[in-house]
Amino acid sequence: MTILNKPFTTKYNTAPFSEIKNEDFLPAFKTAIKNAKSEIDAIVDNSESPNFKNTIEALDYSGEELDRISSIFFNLNSAETNDEIQKIAQEVSPLLSEFSNDIALNEDLFKRVKVVYDSKSDLNLTTEQATLLDKKYKSFSRNGANLPDDKKEQLRAIDKELSQLKLKFGEHILAETNKFEMLLTDESELSGLPEGAKEAAKQLAESKRKEGWLITLDYPSYIPFMTYADNRSLREKLSKAFGSKGFKNDDLDNQNIVLRIANLRFKRAQLLGYKTHAHFVLEERMAETPEKVNAFLNELLEKAKPAAEKEFATLESFAKDSDGIDQLQKWDSTYYSEKLKQKLFSLDDEQLKPYFKLENVIEGAFTVAEKLFGLRFEEINSIDKYHEDVLTYKVVDKDTNLISIFYADFFPRAGKRNGAWMTSFKPQMIKNGINERPHVSIVCNFTKPTKSKPSLLTFNEVTTLFHEFGHALHGMLANTTYPSLSGTNVYWDFVELPSQILENWCYEEETLKLFATHYETNEVIPMELIEKIKASATFHEGMQTLRQLSFGMLDMAWHAGESQETITSVKHYETNAFGKTQLYPDVAENCMSTAFAHIFQGGYSSGYYSYKWAEVLDADAFEYFKEEGIFNTTVANKFKAFVLSQGGTENPMTLYKKFRGQEPKPEALLRRAGLIK
């Protein structure tokens, strides 16, 4: 038995990362699966007749050891992976897929669940219990419990293959990201780049024992180069490298994986009696159907497209007037947008970055959480970490009760995938009368400190930190009985509300004055800069909206189509899906789908629209805060009571209306975006 199979003896029951060895994982998983199976057998073999406690509740509390090991392992596979961990992931994923199918297709277990479900009107259940019962019943009926044996076997085979394909897809993207390097030895090729970005590129080259300046596909390296580098041909080279991940017909190619995943998802849905994968997924979402999602996306497209086309025409003529460019290309987009933004608002990231030292922004997020929800964050170094860069905190309420343990991991490295996300190492639940508090983590990829400067964030990175911190608050403030309904275990198109609403505070003078101080002089950010941030907030909002809609439409094309079997070209299919949203000329060497990790590796398949869906919610919700005051504790307490603490215990629209007193109106989003007056 490995350390992972024993109760942790650490303070706060945190994961003992330094004592866990890679070779512990496979045996730990096997033992935990065996133990979880025994817990399921005990439920099935119970001689008492099925009731809510001995069947539904017992089922939700089962597999706790396995869930804990899984969260530790798969978080490491995203944030601190290596060849060995990736190999274990390939071995473990089919075992987990098989185990989850063993439960979903266990006829005797389903019979017990069905007995309880069929008698629910007589059970006098709480709202949370009724939701759990409904969720448990659907977890069987939606995953093949009513299928004949031969189709159950087909389902098992599909799920096993899908779990491996998703991992392989992600491994290819990480390998592609790590493989590409653009070493520049002539300093003139860095013309336009801010000093901080040049210094970071120099430091990166030195760390790999190379002479010159190293540019990579990691966001803190890629974004500044695409935004500021004057050398157009180098921007083109970098852009094409970024856009061709998984699309080179080599051993890291993802085209066949994309086609296979889409086809298997379609077959799986059909097997379960659904028209498409999107019909299957959306049944358990606020949006309910692909038709509603497409109508939602098209309605926003109609509102945003005229503004986007106007913005694009202005950008094109600006590039032509500035540098004689006849045809604006994708690698010109951020560069000329930044130049135009500077011209219109006299504002650029380099002006703002000195006011956004990472440590200050973290402190700012903590202050916002304290003012709104009464939370205090205390950095502690007695908690084990999986990497030295990780920061660890104890989170308490005003009465010093433990609310959560919080991990924060901010800088890129070779074993970490790009992007930013929130996750957890231990869920919240109330078990045996004890309210188990969660262990929550956020992972980002911000610019590392250099020899001469601390980590200074772009404004976009500031909003990213607040976004992930919003997810973290959803996890930290969870206060439900059952783990499967706790924290971020909500409908997928509701999960982005807590993260996206928190971004709004970044634009408010009252908030910025709390933490935006110059890293050298300690001067508070000047009012004129705050006004420029607000004025530029809707800059190119039409184009940004079109971009988000294009991703949502591509997702729906892959998952709401009638059949995926006839698709032969990933690129051709994608080009058609982008038809209505395209502004820039197509780049033949590039393909979005082969690196679209959100939908082919993560959990966003048929769900990418949810970012925009949640924007409608967050704009409407923040208008309520604005009406009463952005730090109004009455509104904050309602948001905590009806949204953050409730997890998935009730239908999200019901929870939202309890908080807001009405359904959300899209006009709030369109007003904020400047698309309507």
Closest CA to 25 of 98, 99, 87: 87
CA-to-CA separations, 120 to 61, 125, 135, in angstroms, rounded: 20, 8, 13
Lookup: tokens for 369: 């959480």
Lookup: tokens for 293: 């999602």
Cα–Cα distance, 76 to 413 (Å, whole number): 13
Closest CA to 492 of 601, 602, 604: 604
DSSP string across 138-161: HHHHTTTTTS-HHHHHHHHHHHHH
Cα–Cα distance, 106 to 101 (Å, whole number): 8
Cα–Cα distance, 29 to 26 (Å, whole number): 5
The b/e string for 101-140 (b: 16+ C-beta within 10 A; e otherwise) is bebbbbeebbebbbebbeebeeeebeebbbbbbebbbebb
The residues near 469 (Cβ < 8 Å, ≥ 6 apart) are 365, 369, 442, 499, 502
Closest CA to 424 of 437, 443, 441, 407: 441
Q: Hey, which bits of 288-438 come out as E strands?
A: 376-379, 391-396, 402-409, 421-426, 429-431, 434-436
What's the burial of 653, exposed, middle or buried (CB within 10 Å: 0-12/13-18/19+)?
A: middle
Has 65 been annotated as catalytic? no
Lookup: tokens for 508: 């408010």
Cα–Cα distance, 81 to 74 (Å, whole number): 9
Q: Is 436 helix (H, G, I), strand (E, B) or coil?
A: strand
Q: What are phi and psi of 373, to 5 degrees?
A: -120, 5
Cross-strand pairs, 524: 517
Instruction: Characterize the bridge pairing of strands 429-431 and 434-436.
Output: antiparallel
DSSP string across 50-100: P-IIIIIIHHHHTTHHHHHHHHHHHHHHHHS--HHHHHHHHHHHHHHHHHH
Lookup: tokens for 378: 């205390």
What's the burial of 381, exposed, middle or buried (CB within 10 Å: 0-12/13-18/19+)?
A: exposed
Q: Is 105 helix (H, G, I), strand (E, B) or coil?
A: coil
Lookup: tokens for 64: 């706790």
What's the burial of 388, exposed, middle or buried (CB within 10 Å: 0-12/13-18/19+)?
A: exposed
Contact 344, 315 (CB under 8 A): no
- Which of 171, 311, 350, 468 is catalytic? The answer is 468
Lookup: tokens for 8: 């942790």
Lookup: tokens for 434: 């004890």
Lookup: tokens for 122: 């007589």
Residues with active-site annotation: 468
